[in-house]
Amino acid sequence: MTEQEILEGLAGICNDLAGVDPSIVSMEKSFRDDLDIDSLSMVEVVMACEDKFGVKITDDKVNSLETVGDAVTFIAENA
Amino acid sequence: MGYANDKAVVVTGLGATTPLGANVGDFWSGLMAGTSGIRLLDERFAAYELPVTFGATIAVEPAEMLDRIEARKLDRSEQFALIAAREAWADAGSPDVDPDRLASVVSSGIGGVHALLDSYDTLRERGWNRINPNSVPMLMPNGPAAVVGLEFGARGGVHAPVSACASGAEALAWASMLIRLGKIDIAIVGGCEAAVHPSPMANFAAMRALSTRNDNPQAASRPYDVDRDGFVMGEGAGVLVIESEEHARARGARVYAYVAGSGMTADAHHMAQPDPNGSGAARAMLRAVEDAGVSPADIVHINAHATSTPAGDVAESVAIRAAFGDHADSIVVTATKSMTGHLLGGAGAIESIACVLALHNRIVPPTINLDNQDPDIHLDVATSQRPLAAGTIHAINNSFGFGGHDVAVVFRSA
């Protein structure tokens, strides 16, 4: 799966779970500061990513995923 | 009486989403028309072979009235509360108030039972790490009060007095005391419930508390009728905006009625059965009358708790006669659960709204399905619309709950 495909999948998840406009979900955006995804919603986003991309994301890892790009890179490397 | 700096309390906003409609206007017109809100349960219930196949389900699904993202973080009971609170607040004129003087007091009887049971299903089927991270604020019984408090920025307190089927009335009693004491100026108060779900339906069926009139569901809720056989589970919410009269007058608010007094007692008799002497309920009504600074002879109307259970309806009749003596013959009683079913924690709220509107419109809605009044019920029960007198008049909403809770609230016409 390409990074672009992962980005599109992640944008869909952010829209589904938190109502974020998929068109603003880009690599440099911060989940918390730019997309207004709070810590509880982030737990949901992580669950959905695990299910969709077949990747395991530990709580420790989640804390280091500040931007969309961080998540896309992690998923691309570990899926 | 009895309070330092006692403030008069008025009702300035109403909101409800009920089996009769998604707003107060539809609720009231449904009551006045004698409409039953009872419907057959859908296929989600079929697998369990419950002895009851119907309920007073919501008229308009909350998903149709809320933003999708907002709705998915709220238990169904919280969704009902938020919808009713938005209507009530808008009805009160969406006032600009000091948030430190605004409280949210919204109760439920059971709490977020859908969220709790959904999370248990998820735990068993998919494991703990697939449980909705929002499930705790969805299932906690103070959730509805907190959701409403957040929506309107209430920093003067968020409370959720829980007393089973008296919860909604206790919320109103509690909030009105806070205003009378001068602790706050304005409150968003009410009750909600979302227990039309197979598990709580089975729980109440196990108590033999529910009507099983499956051959004629719309006749199943029949308070005071000799053939009543239990209550009908309902869902929804009612919310009122109440405030000190001086706060309301200063902002030029429309006043529906006064919350004149309240009485809260307990039976200390049995966990679920009513005291057959009705003494706790009678004391609640008399305390409320005294708290309102009026006499029992000033009460002209009672919206009864009257759930359509064989024992409860008689006990309340006994209580009303014990409290009012021969004056009970002059009190127009109605049992609106005949139309709405029993909203548990929401009941005291929607029935308080019915009581307020009866005073405001000077007319009492009917009790339906009362074909043959039980000879043990010695009350003047309205079976059609009944006018109320002009001038200053008073009415009571009664709400009682498992655990022996007795709550009565006295309203005065504006």
CA dihedral sign of residues B223, B53, B21, B191? positive
How many other CB atoms are there within 10 angstroms of residue A53's CB atom?
A: 21
- Which pLDDT band holds residue A79 (cuts at 50, 70, 90)? confident
Q: What is the CA radius of gyration of chain B?
A: 20
Residue B4's pLDDT is what? Answer: 67
**Tokens 């955006």 belong to residue:** A29
B86 neighbors B151 (Cβ within 8 angstroms): yes
Q: To the nearest 10°, the Cα dihedral for B369, B371, B375, B378?
A: 60
pLDDT of residue B227: 98
Whole-number pLDDT of residue B2? 60
Nearest of B191, B167, B162 to residue B77 by alpha carbon: B191
Pairing of the two strands B54-55 and B39-40: antiparallel
Beta-strand relationship, B236-244 and B186-193 = antiparallel
Annotated catalytic residue B270? no
Catalytic annotation present for B342: yes
Q: Which amino acid is at A71?
A: A
- Please indicate whether residue B192 is annotated as part of the active site: no
Of B67, B72, B130, the CB nearest to A47: B130
How distant is the alpha carbon of residue A35 from its chain centre?
Answer: 11
Bridge partner residues of B262 (DSSP): B409
Q: What is the pLDDT of residue B28?
A: 98
CB B53 within 8 A of CB B232: no
H helix or E strand, kind and range, residue B263: strand B257-266
Contact B85/B346 with Cβ under 8 angstroms? no
Q: What is the complex's ipTM, to 2 decimals?
A: 0.89
Helix extents (H) in B325-366: 337-340, 347-361
**pLDDT tens digits, A38-68:** 999 999 999 999 999 999 999 999 999 999 9
For residues B1 and B21, what is the distance between their CA atoms, to the nearest angstrom?
Answer: 38
Positions of chain B with pLDDT lower than 70, given as ranges: 1-2, 4-5
The reported pTM is: 0.96
Partners of residue A18 in chain B, C-beta under 8 Å: 69
- Smallest CA–CA separation between A27 and chain B, in Å? 23
H helix runs in B190-293, sequence order? 198-206, 245-250, 279-291
Among residues B114, B159, B197, B305, which one is catalytic?
Answer: B305
State how far the alpha carbon of B5 is from the alpha carbons of B114, B178, B203, in Å.
Answer: 43, 12, 46
List residues in chain A touching B: CB distance below 8 A: 17-19, 40-41, 43-44, 47
List residues of B whose CB lies inside 8 A of any A CB: 67-69, 72, 129-130, 132-134
